């Protein structure tokens, strides 16, 4: 069964000339598009097809290289269309060759900027399965979030390097908060609960009840940790900020020696509050793939 092409569309409130420049100038294009680490136009004579080289870092020091050509750019009734082809001879690249187009459609409230492209893959049936279930969805997501980064640059004046840095900071801090909640829910309360039960018993609970309380708190912390991972949800972070100080103080009252112990609940609580506040402060104006349409309004 044929794999559907990748389609991404976004409305950008700005001028078509600015949008065209930021997408056609390789030095600008490579700053907002996650799919490329670098794009280099090759010299050409007037009237010749524009050829370019691209490189993409895929992690662990590996770089995938390829070539492309801007086949044609046309304008009809104010609508600009730029078509291109691309290919890679790199044996590590899943993509062999492909093509597509960018379209710039003026509207009263901005520009509809959209792309539709597809490609052929390497590695036979295995490559096809990887492409269908992993690579193509990831590539579509990378295209969409890159388009929103471009929108923020044009509409809000936020440079791409600031958007990507803010996104990395936000994701890292949110993951850290989720990991800490999950660890403290699973390890000291469900897997090795003896020390936590002793704290609860010191507060006046009977051993059987203390075991149930610790297990319930562990499950609750695991749930909070999972909720922190929900994108665009602020309440789990505010819950962390509100809960950490009382929990740390309660633990230290139940066992005062914890105040001076290594990894004190006070320092843990302060760190959790700081990470949550960082995530909250960096959540505004983050690029998001959700702002893009992923299927054409009228199927192509």
Question: Taking residues 272-279, what's their average pLDDT?
Answer: 95
Kindly report the average pLDDT of the chain as a whole number. Answer: 89
> Confidence band (pLDDT; 50, 70, 90) for 59?
low
Instruction: Quote the pLDDT of residue 299.
Output: 55
Q: What is the topology classification, in CATH, of domain 6-157?
A: Alpha-D-Glucose-1,6-Bisphosphate; Chain A, domain 4 (3.30.530)
Residue percentage of the chain with pLDDT more than 70: 95
Tell me: pLDDT of 210 over 60: yes
Question: Taking residues 209-237, what's their average pLDDT?
Answer: 94
* 47, 54 Cβ separation under 8 angstroms: no
> Confidence band (pLDDT; 50, 70, 90) for 20?
very high
Report DSSP letters for the chain, one per residue: -PPPPEEEEEEE-S-HHHHHHHHHSHHHHHHH-TT-SEEEEPP--TTSPEEEEEEEEEETTEEEEEEEEEEEEEEETTEEEEEEEEE---TT-SEEEEEEEEEEEEETTEEEEEEEEEEEESSHHHHHHHIIIIIHHHHHHHHHHHHHHHHHHHHH---HHHHHHHHHHHHHHHHHHHHHHHHHHHIIIIIS-HHHHHHHHHTT--HHHHHHHHHHHHHHHHHHHHHHTSTT--HHHHHHHHHHHHHHHHHHHHSGGGGGSTT-HHHHHHHHHHHHHHHHHT-TT---GGGSB-S-SS--
Instruction: Quote the pLDDT of residue 1.
Output: 46
Least confident of 87-101, 108-122, 158-172, 252-266: 252-266
Instruction: Quote the pLDDT of residue 57.
Output: 80
Domain boundaries, the chain: 6-157, 166-281
Cα(95)–Cα(286) distance, rounded to whole angstroms? 29
């Amino acid at each position: 069964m044929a794999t559907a092409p990748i389609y991404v569309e976004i409305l950008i409130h700005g001028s078509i000339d600015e949008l065209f420049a930021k997408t056609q100038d390789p030095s600008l294009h490579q700053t907002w598009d996650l799919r490329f680490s670098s794009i280099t136009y090759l010299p050409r004579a007037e009237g010749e097809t524009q050829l370019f080289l691209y490189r993409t870092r895929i992690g662990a020091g590996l770089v995938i290289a390829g070539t492309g050509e801007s086949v044609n750019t046309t304008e009809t009734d104010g609508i600009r269309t730029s078509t291109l082809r691309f290919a890679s001879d790199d044996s590590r690249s899943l993509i062999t060759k492909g093509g597509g187009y960018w379209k710039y459609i003026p509207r009263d409230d901005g520009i509809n900027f959209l792309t539709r492209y597809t490609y052929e893959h390497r590695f036979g049936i295995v490559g096809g399965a990887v492409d269908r279930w992993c690579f193509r969805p990831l590539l579509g997501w990378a295209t969409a979030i890159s388009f929103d980064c471009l929108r923020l640059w044009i509409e809000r004046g936020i440079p791409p390097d600031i958007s990507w840095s803010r996104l990395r900071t936000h994701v890292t801090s949110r993951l850290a908060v989720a990991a800490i909640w999950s660890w403290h829910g699973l390890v000291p309360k469900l897997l090795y609960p003896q020390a936590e039960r002793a704290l609860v018993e010191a507060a006046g609970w009977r051993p059987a009840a203390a075991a149930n309380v610790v297990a319930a708190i562990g499950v609750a912390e695991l749930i909070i940790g999972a909720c922190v991972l929900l994108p665009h949800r602020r309440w789990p972070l505010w819950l962390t900020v509100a809960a950490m100080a009382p929990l740390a103080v309660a633990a230290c009252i139940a066992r005062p020696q914890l105040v001076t112990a290594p990894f004190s609940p006070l320092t843990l609580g302060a760190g959790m509050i700081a990470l949550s506040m960082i995530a909250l402060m960096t959540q505004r104006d983050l690029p998001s793939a959700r702002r893009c349409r992923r299927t054409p309004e009228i199927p192509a």
